Structure 1
Amino acid sequence: MIYNSNIIKAEFIKRPNRFIAYVKLNEEEIVVHVPNTGRCREILIPGSTVILREGKNPNRKTKYDLIGGYKNNKFINIDSQVPNHVVDEALKNSKIEKLKNYPIIKREKTFGNSRFDFKISNDNEEEYYLEVKGVTFENDGHCMFPDAPTDRGRKHLLELIEVKKKGKGAGVLFLIQLQEAKTFSPYDDMDENFGKALRLAYKNGVDIFVYNCKVGENYIELDRCVDIIL
């Protein structure tokens, strides 16, 4: 996908809470929205270069969203609204090999008491439920999720097991929002229960997909599979 808004560089100052940050733009300190509730501490460092997207709604409280930043000259997209758009585009273009036989794509669909990012199906009435997680934490090519505890993420995995038990297809796709990714694993030191749930889901037949992205300041798209370490 390509951002169809103005993209601007700024200098990161501080992030007082999950939702806003202060940056320096044209020698002026301004408040911007951060569309990511993760910690992103290794990216959002005082003095680092960050990328802003200009909003189109004139009535919004902040003019810009902080959608990414540079870590050691490596650009990482942190926009949590992006992964579902990227995966939707990839599904429509048959870029995920195992899911190519599900041409009917629906977003935000419910199964039982659970809502998943995608329900995909085909003319044979085969159904597959897919949950998407954006990944931004990286260390020397190794990426991990989550970068903050997520009970909601753990519940999604347990719910996918129930989908599988009902005879439907079920999977979770971790979209790494940077290009230089080599391997992926659950971040057990951050959230041990999430890691346990991911391994349990795998043992129960839930598919685990991990892809990196081709990414720039104004675009991001699904690229290739990344090795998983469970």
Structure 2
Amino acid sequence: MADTACFIHHPGECCRARFVRRYKRFTVEAVALDGPDSGRTVLAHTNNTGSMLGLLRPGTVALLSPAASRGRKLPYTLEAMELHGRFVGVNTLTPNRMLRRAWETRSLPELAEYDTFRAEARTGQSRLDARLDGPGGPLWVECKNVTMVEDEVACFPDAVTERGHKHLRELMALAATGARVALFFLIQRTDGRCFGPADVVDPVYAGLFYEALERGVEAWPLVARVDRSGVRLGRRLAVVRP
């Protein structure tokens, strides 16, 4: 699929910064290269709990968006890291925002028949990222952010994810009831030629992923092009089969 009109802006005008370190899991320290804090050391929140393998290298250029509230403890949010001259999006809220935008713009054929979109929809004792409803019944979707590429294969996850195991089991349980269910993998870099689970990183996830496909769970891996202004939905990748 070629790049579409499906585009989302970063929240606020981003600045470039030189990455220094990540600490306390959710905090990034960097030196602003432009914007109102140019030349100063700034702190940014990162919502990405993965390893961001190969991206968090001291001296690497980062893309930071300003916090919506001036009173927030950390004045910036980490949106992307530069790799080989291109930005790799690391904000884990972006896939959810992109899925909704894809539905609004009718950019994904799989979403065309659905009339309503509900985020953080409850099923049993859990919540999934989205539920869409249409004449044929509901569609449940869980969104994942992909930042890792190895040997031209876009891979998920980049760290062991028990939460991801849980989501796959929940999706399989829903599929067993006859519901339509899917995984939306937003690959926020452009150097992958296909997609597959990172079995070297998390073999349990890889096994559950392929089991889920056999049980009717759909996988939608789509590339995103990230720049200073925002994120654009791009082409679909094939899924590597064992």
Q: TM-score range by the shorter chain?
A: over 0.9
Structure 2: runs of 5 or more not aligned: 1-7, 33-37
The alignment's TM-score, normalised by the length of structure 2, stands at: 0.90
1:45-77 CA-partner distances (Å, limit 9, x unpaired)? 111111111112121111111111111112101
Which amino acid is 1:49 matched to?
A: V
Which amino acid is 1:17 matched to?
A: K
Alignment of 1:111 onto 2:123: yes
- Partner residue in 2 for 1:22: 29
Alignment of 1:89 onto 2:101: yes
- Partner residue in 1 for 2:207: 196
Secondary structure of the residue that 1:80 maps to in structure 2? Answer: coil
Are the equivalent residues in 2 in contact too, given 1:53–1:65 (CA < 8 A)? yes
Alignment of 1:223 onto 2:227: no
Alignment of 1:205 onto 2:212: no
Match of 2:168 among 150, 157, 182: 157
Deviation, 1:4, is: 4.1
CA distance in 1, matches of 2:162, 2:146: 16
Matches within 5 A, 1:164-183: 164-183=175-194
Which amino acid is 1:170 matched to?
A: V
Are the equivalent residues in 2 in contact too, given 1:87–1:222 (CA < 8 A)? no
- Partner residue in 1 for 2:35: none
CA distance in 2, matches of 1:207, 1:72: 32
Deviation, 1:91, is: 1.5
- Partner residue in 1 for 2:5: none
Which amino acid is 1:194 matched to?
A: Y
Deviation, 1:17, is: 3.3
CA distance in 2, matches of 1:97, 1:114: 27
Structure 1 runs of 4+ with >3 Å offset:
none
1:146-188 CA-partner distances (Å, limit 9, x unpaired)? 0111111111111111111111111111110123331111011
**CA separation of 1:4 and 1:21: change in aligned 2, threshold 3 A:** closer
Q: Which moves more between the two structures, 71-80 or 215-224?
A: 215-224
**CA separation of 1:41 and 1:161: change in aligned 2, threshold 3 A:** closer
CA distance in 2, matches of 1:75, 1:62: 22
- Partner residue in 1 for 2:69: 57
CA distance in 2, matches of 1:21, 1:172: 29
CA distance in 2, matches of 1:17, 1:228: 35
For the aligned residue pairs, the C-alpha RMSD in angstroms reads 1.4
Match of 1:3 among 7, 10, 27: 10
CA distance in 1, matches of 2:151, 2:214: 28
CA distance in 2, matches of 1:3, 1:23: 19
* Higher relative contact order structure (alpha carbons within 8 Å, sequence separation ≥ 6): 2
Alignment of 1:41 onto 2:41: no
Are the equivalent residues in 2 in contact too, given 1:18–1:38 (CA < 8 A)? no
Are the equivalent residues in 2 in contact too, given 1:35–1:67 (CA < 8 A)? no
Which amino acid is 1:74 matched to?
A: R
Are the equivalent residues in 2 in contact too, given 1:18–1:39 (CA < 8 A)? no
Secondary structure of the residue that 1:162 maps to in structure 2? Answer: helix
How many residues are treated as equivalent by the alignment? 229
Percent of aligned positions with the same letter in both sequences? 26
Are the equivalent residues in 1 in contact too, given 2:11–2:65 (CA < 8 A)? no
CA distance in 2, matches of 1:184, 1:130: 18
Secondary structure of the residue that 2:101 maps to in structure 1? Answer: helix
Secondary structure of the residue that 2:25 maps to in structure 1? Answer: coil
